[in-house]
Amino acid sequence: MRKHIVAGNWKMNKTFGEADDLLNDIMTKLESTTLDANTQLIVCPPFPYLEMTSDYSDDSYFMVGAQNVSDQEVGAYTGEVSAAMLESLEIDYCIVGHSERRAYYHETNEIVARKVDQLLKHGLKPIVCCGEVLEEREANKQFEVVKQQITEGLFHLTPEQFGEIIVAYEPVWAIGTGKTATPEQAQEMHAFIRSLIAEKYGNEVAEETSILYGGSCKPSNAKELFANKDVDGGLIGGASLKADDFIGIATAF
């Protein structure tokens, strides 16, 4: 059975004290919550809070991820954080190719591919984002766009390497807008992504790949999104900044 994953992407939010408070709230809430045994929580805080967040991690259902990584190994790259550094902090996951990084920091599919390579080399699991912007959806180009992102970003991997990948479908028009994809739109795209993976790596790899949905996911819509056969969880932005909402989503399976 594929893992159910609920990952919180805090983006550039929270000061140190606020981050500590939120982690405390999440842990307190978790104490009185029964999560499905197959559910994995991942919290992806800003870089400066990775270690603090790791201190809360129990290495089983509550894990820690970074939001970004350098595509280079080591050296004179001011401001960058390498996969080796994340490995040395025992960070398990890292988001790559988020639409905000693609839009504001010019992260191309080629850069995504190099970041994925760095992460795999250092034993981290990449959470690789894909998704179309509104104009592409309106022009019915969403499948073409996502196919290109997946093909150019990931299909250089061996089947064994691909086994480490988590895919996150985040339609850009749904991110932070309050406009969620319908369960049908999510299922349709997730099934399409799985079919691409099956075509390239075979059914077994495709059936084992967790594909998350992201974009205005909240406790009130998580259940109907997660009820779909190919939706294995969520990558949560705004709602991951409140313990009640984050845990509310995690219990929606």
Task: For residue 140, give the 3-state DSSP assignment.
Answer: coil
Task: For residue 64, give the 3-state DSSP assignment.
Answer: strand
Strand residues in 45-156 grouped as ranges (E): 62-66, 93-96, 125-130
- CB nearer to ligand 13P: give 91 or 235: 235
Backbone angles phi, psi at 103, to 5 degrees: -80, -45
Residue 170 CB, shortest distance to ligand 13P, in Å, is 5
Residue 178 CB, shortest distance to ligand 13P, in Å, is 8
**Rounded to whole angstroms, what are the CA distances from 112 to 23, 71, 72?**
29, 8, 11
Q: Please, is 199 exposed, middle or buried when counting C-beta atoms within 10 Å of its C-beta (0-12, 13-18, 19+)?
A: exposed
Specify the DSSP element, H or E, that contains 176: none
Count of CB atoms within 10 A of residue 44's CB? 27
**Rounded to whole angstroms, what are the CA distances from 118 to 4, 142, 151?**
25, 28, 18
By CB under 6 A, name the binding residues for ligand 13P.
Answer: 9, 98, 170, 175-176, 214-217, 235-239
**Tokens at residue 156, please?**
């250089």
Cα separation, 167 vs 128, in Å, equals 5
Q: Supply the residues annotated as catalytic.
A: 98, 170
Q: Which residue is nearest to ligand 13P (CB)?
A: 237
Residue 53 CB, shortest distance to ligand 13P, in Å, is 16
DSSP string across 33-46:
----TTEEEEEE--
Task: For residue 5, give the 3-state DSSP assignment.
Answer: strand
